[in-house]
Structure 1
């Protein structure tokens, strides 16, 4: 009986959900308190983003979001760095990974304001119950079995932002696209001073690196993740592929997954292995310690480097760390 009452109440909430928002797209209950200290002169802000199908779209922010749902580590870290922890009403990420523990350690005060942190994914019913006014996520999260389409939320006054460097929204993602994400977050939350400083630092580092590496012999590189099945290959269409290219390397393989024979046949000068958690790192270390890979040049010369996945996939505020990790691997004697 109690379960029936609960589901009836939930159904009623879903039906009434579109009417719980003001014309500005925010829950009425938070309008009076949220913007008291906001510099309204910064708004409105029009942001170019993508819909659930990966098609370009625009969304307008008339004020900073007050009730945010966010997916994945680097997007969450970006909001923590920008001081938005208290506005996050739901965060979905791997709570058993090393990245989760790192966020707790590096941003203890801001991270403590986030509630709740949910393992891996948030379903649409759960998202509705959180009453967001902004959802920041990968395109894959706006699938029917998770949040549902971006259009469904936009029709109900909830702004959405699809991170362009994930899920191959962009066929050829670049460092500039990551800088654009950083800039977008600065504009949405009126934190341009912070985000402009990071973008300048990224550009300055790249100018120095590209000048230093000019004229050097090009090295072949693989950036992979290994698991129980095939080997996931990051080709030059990902942000890390652009990092490798701009630092004087080349990723010769283009398929999403490669087998052991293809890895051996490619025989790259350098291999970067991305990992999600401590178990993933141990698994990858054990994988490449196998005698079947002894013929690889990268093994013989000690040029297999293990890097956290957030350095190479949608890195956001970790973009500099990613660039520096790739540079150290390509030029260990510098």
Structure 2
């Protein structure tokens, strides 16, 4: 009897050690996790994950940063960057991953043997990776990052909104068995959105000077949804490109100048509004001109929180940053 009792106690101790010790990620045993996405042409399609990916190819800096934020950076085997200046910092985060600054061709991608491909839409063109549908047909999940182009809300593509960024984070959490981490990020975004600061109603312009053209970011992009949320109105046009004369008539109280690259590119973009033709503009005259990186406002993924904080700070400001 004593021997039987001793064995029973030993069994309880062993079970207790198992319960308290490191737990295996049971998500790796899940089958057929399905998330909604779309193909290169904007047609809706489901992406099914039969197991948690272990060899991920990511095309796009914000996709990489989102997976890292979810705690899945060690699953990234290769990354193609949209912003080459981030190579050093991302390589430090992903010491075992191959980092590319130029798009991969189909053969090179196949050689990497990925079991999941996440990328901005443009990387799934025929002359690069090919449409997501062709990868899915081969049993490899392929996902176009939400709000990554070409011009979302146009044609069959969904709108770029705060909700679409949260959906992307949630979908990646599901696919990678990181639901709690995804919910933690989304909760921080929701808390920021619910902050009580009273922002004065004002007209806001997002503009990019690109190869001699002037492009206005409209209401159907993420910036439009953010500005609406903060009770302001975005200056928008039916066509994205405007003339210099139209810009000279702009009555926006705040102007965000979109730029690609690092500090040098940022200063060059801001210098565009130093043109004497624009000195009478309300935002320019009052010093309410703010730089914003393209990656902060187009498909930022997990960095949406930083974008919201920065935009709100600028909307509340009475002096240039």
TM superposition score category, shorter chain reference: 0.7 to 0.9
- Structure 1 residues 127 and 182, CA gap change in structure 2 (3 angstroms): same
Unaligned stretches of 5+ residues in structure 2: 1-23
Question: For the residues of structure 1 that align with 2:162 and 2:192, how far apart are their CA atoms?
Answer: 12
| Alignment root-mean-square deviation, CA | 2.1
Aligned residue runs from structure 1 range 261-276, under 5 A: 261-276=245-260
User: Is 2:100 the partner of 1:77?
Assistant: no
1:282 aligned residue: 267
User: How far did residue 257 of structure 1 move?
Assistant: 1.8
Which residue does 2:171 correspond to in 1? 184
Change (3 A) 1:169 1:285: closer
TM-score by length of 2: 0.84
Question: Residue 7 of structure 1 corresponds to which residue in structure 2?
Answer: none
Q: CA deviation at 1:42?
A: 4.5
Deviation at 1:267, TM superposition (A): 2.7
Per-residue CA shift, 1:129-166, capped at 9, x if unaligned? 11112111122221111111112111211111112212
Q: Does 1:129 align with 2:111?
A: yes
- Tell me: CA distance 1:145–1:332, structure 2 relative to 1, closer, same or farther (3 Å): same
User: Is the contact between residue 77 and residue 96 of structure 2 (CA under 8 Å) also seen in structure 1?
Assistant: no
Residue 293 (structure 2) aligns with = 308
**Gap regions ≥5 residues in structure 1:** 1-35
- Between Structure 1 and Structure 2, how many residues are aligned? 289
Task: Assess if the C-alpha contact under 8 Å between 1:272 and 1:306 holds in 2.
Answer: yes
Partners in 2 of 1:286 and 1:40 — Cα distance? 51
Does residue 1:164 correspond to 2:146, yes or no?
yes
Q: Which range moved further: 174-183 or 290-299? A: 290-299
Structure having the higher Rg? 2
TM-score by length of 1: 0.80
CA distance 1:162–1:95, shift in 2 (3 Å): closer
Structure 2 SS opposite 1:112: coil
Query: How far 1:62 moved relative to its partner?
Result: 1.5
Where 1:181 maps in the other structure, the secondary structure is: helix
| CA distance, structure 1, for counterparts of residue 82 and residue 49 of structure 2 | 29
Q: 2:307 is matched with which residue?
A: 322
1:30 counterpart residue number: none
Q: How far off is 1:82 after superposition?
A: 2.3
